[in-house]
Amino acid sequence: MRALILGGKGDIGQAIATKLQSQLCEVDAVGRNDFDLTSTDQIKRYFEINKPEFDILIHSAGFNNPGLFEHTNDEDLRHSIEANLFGFLEVARNCLPYWKTKGCGRVLVISSLYGFLARSGRLPYVISKHGLNGAVKTLAIELAPHGVLVNSLSPGYIGTKMTYQNNSEETIAKLVSGIPVGRLGSAEDIAEVAEFLCSKKNKYINGQDIVVDGGFSIGGFQS
């Protein structure tokens, strides 16, 4: 088995890579230094060097630059959508011939609570993640006849560098107070679920968004 992890240098991407490697899966974990997901030309050059023969594709890359709508311009929107959505679709397009030839495959998108919720100051991110979840559902319908299962995994508040970068200690404490299990999630929590969804053990979960948030989104945030 061979896996390609976009955003494989981030906290969640690295945890997933480690988990898959423990299952004797060959992993190509790529980051921004390998290619920019906003550049179709860079993606094309990557696949000119590396054959797009991956049994598993995981999209764990994400761009999130908080700011209110009144301060958001078209470039902010465009960059977020290109990095979080369009780049993934271009990579999947390159991998599709191999999946169809082989007759199987697994695709997993690391989405977000903001793929179905919203938050002030996160318009570009929310738009891109909602789009990703829609893409997952459509691809799941189109690719299932070729043996490819497509799902998304939406982490809640995970103790990653991005979380601490985009939220103050006070905000994080408030978020934790709304998580029934009483803590931020870990990258390893996400990796455990990702490994199952991408494995041969998963034979029938398709087109679903699996939420891993310690119970926050089911109402834990309500006082």
* Catalytic machinery residues: 125
What whole-number distance in Å separates Cα of residue 10 and Cα of residue 74? 26
User: Around 15, how many Cα atoms within 13 Å sit in the side-chain half-sphere?
Assistant: 17
Backbone angles phi, psi at 142, to 5 degrees: -75, -30
d(CA 13, CA 78): 23
Evaluate whether 81 touches 128 at the Cβ level (below 8 Å).
yes
Tokens of residue 114, six digits: 């903001």
Q: Where does the chain show beta strands of DSSP type E?
A: 2-6, 26-30, 56-59, 105-110, 148-155, 209-212
Q: Which residues contact 156 (CB under 8 A, 6 or more apart)?
A: 113, 179, 185, 211, 212, 213, 214, 216, 217
Sorted by sequence, the CB contacts under 8 Å of residue 203 that are 6+ apart come out as: none
Q: Residues 4, 56: contact at Cβ < 8 Å? A: yes
